[in-house]
Amino acid sequence: MNKQQSLFNEQSQKCTIQNVGSSTGKSYRAIRHDVVRAKQKQNANEVHHPDEKINQIKNIFENTSFDKKPKILELFAGQGNCTKIYQEYGEVTAYDKKYLKTGDSYIEYHRLIAEKKKFDVVDLDPYGFPNRFFPDIFLLMERGVMFITMPKPYVNILNGITRTHLISYYDEHNPDEQTIVERIALFGLCHWRKIELIDSVDCKSVWRFAFAVERVKATEYTGVRNR
Ligand SMILES: C[S@@+](CC[C@H](N)C(=O)[O-])C[C@H]1O[C@@H](n2cnc3c(N)ncnc32)[C@H](O)[C@@H]1O
C-alpha cells in the first residue's frame, strides 16, 4: 500500500458511523436512526423503497381478480410513487398531508369509516408504525388486499414511548415478524375480517406486507349458531 492509499484509508476510517459515534457519544444505532429520520425529512427515495413496493403491487394485481374496477385508498401517498401505478389498475383516492395536501390520513380514515365508504385495496404507508389504524381500518374493506408498511422493531431505537406503544398493540416491546402478522390477523377478526398474509417483502428497515382481507360471518367463522 502506498502512502496516498494509506492516508485515504485512514481518513475513510475516521468517517465511519462507529467513529462519529465515539466522538459524539451516540451509539451506532442512534446515529443510523438520525440519518434515516433526516432522509425521511428530505423525502429521499432511499427510505421509500419505490422499486420493491411497485414490484409487489404489480405482482399482487396480476394475481388477484376483482369483480369490478377496484377502488383504491392510499394513506400517506407521498409524491405519488405508487399512486401512478395504482391508477393503472383502478380508481384511486390518495391522502398526503405534506405533498398532495389532501388531508391528514389519521383524520380522513375516521371520516371515511363514518361515511361507510368501502375500498377493494388499501395502502397504509406511514413513516412510523401503522398500529394506530388497527383494528378500525378493516371496516373500510369487505374483500380485497391491504398493503401495510411495518417498521422492524428490532432495527429501531426503542425508547420508552415506543416500547409502551408496542406492548399495547403486540403484548411485547420487540415483536418479531410472525408475532406482528398474527396480531394483525386478530385485529382483523375484531371486525370479523379474515386476514391472510399473501406477501411479505423485506425492505431493510421495514417489511411491506400484503394481506388478503375478507369479511366473514361470525357464526360461520366460529361454527357457533345464534339461537
Ligand atoms: C413513507 S412516506 C410515503 C411514501 C409513498 N407512499 C411512496 O411510496 O412514495 C410517508 C408520507 O406520509 C406523509 N405524512 C406524514 N404525516 C401525515 C399525515 N398525518 N397524513 C397524511 N400524510 C402524512 C409524508 O408527507 C410522507 O410523504
Question: How do the residues of the chain divide into helix, strand and coil, expressed in percent and rounded to 5?
Answer: 50, 20, 35
Nearest CA to ligand 1 atom 19: 104
Are the C-beta atoms of residues 203 and 47 closer than 8 Å to each other? no
What are the pLDDT digits (tens) for 36-49?
A: 677 677 677 766 88
Cβ 133 under 6 angstroms from ligand 1: no
Query: What amino acid occupies position 48?
Result: H
Question: Cell numbers of 9, please?
Answer: 484509508
C-alpha–C-alpha distance, residues 62 and 68, integer Å: 14
Q: Ligand 1 pocket test: pick from 83, 98, 121 the residue with the most ligand atoms within 8 Å of its Cβ.
A: 98
C-alpha–C-alpha distance, residues 144 and 67, integer Å: 10
C-alpha–C-alpha distance, residues 164 and 38, integer Å: 24
Q: What is the atom index within ligand 1 of the atom nearest the CA of 126?
A: 10
C-alpha–C-alpha distance, residues 118 and 141, integer Å: 5
Nearest CA to ligand 1 atom 25: 98
Query: What amino acid occupies position 195?
Result: I
C-alpha–C-alpha distance, residues 75 and 73, integer Å: 6
Which pTM value belongs to this model?
0.85
What are the pLDDT digits (tens) for 113-163?
A: 999 999 999 999 999 999 999 999 999 999 999 999 999 999 877 899 999
Residue 188, judged by CB atoms within 10 A of its CB (0-12, 13-18, 19+), counts as: buried
pLDDT by 10s per residue, the chain, length 227: 555 455 445 544 554 545 545 566 777 667 766 776 776 776 777 668 899 999 999 999 999 999 999 999 999 999 999 999 999 999 999 999 999 999 999 999 999 999 999 999 999 999 999 999 999 999 999 999 999 999 999 987 789 999 999 999 999 999 999 999 999 999 999 999 999 999 999 999 999 999 999 999 999 999 998 76
DSSP assignments along 42-80, one per residue? TT-GGGT-HHHHHHHHHHHHHT---SSSPEEEEES-TTS
Cβ 76 under 6 angstroms from ligand 1: yes
Query: What distance lies between CA 134 and its chain's CA centroid?
Result: 12
Cβ 125 under 6 angstroms from ligand 1: yes
Q: How far is the CA of 96 from the centre of ligand 1 (A)?
A: 5
Residue ranges of domains in the chain, CATH in brackets: 3-41 (no CATH), 48-221 (3.40.50.150)
Element (H, E) at 124: strand 121-124
Q: How far is the CA of 205 from the centre of ligand 1 (A)?
A: 17
Q: Ligand 1 pocket test: pick from 47, 82, 97 the residue with the most ligand atoms within 8 Å of its Cβ.
A: 97
Question: Cell numbers of 205, please?
Answer: 428497515
Residue corresponding to grid cell 400517506:
76
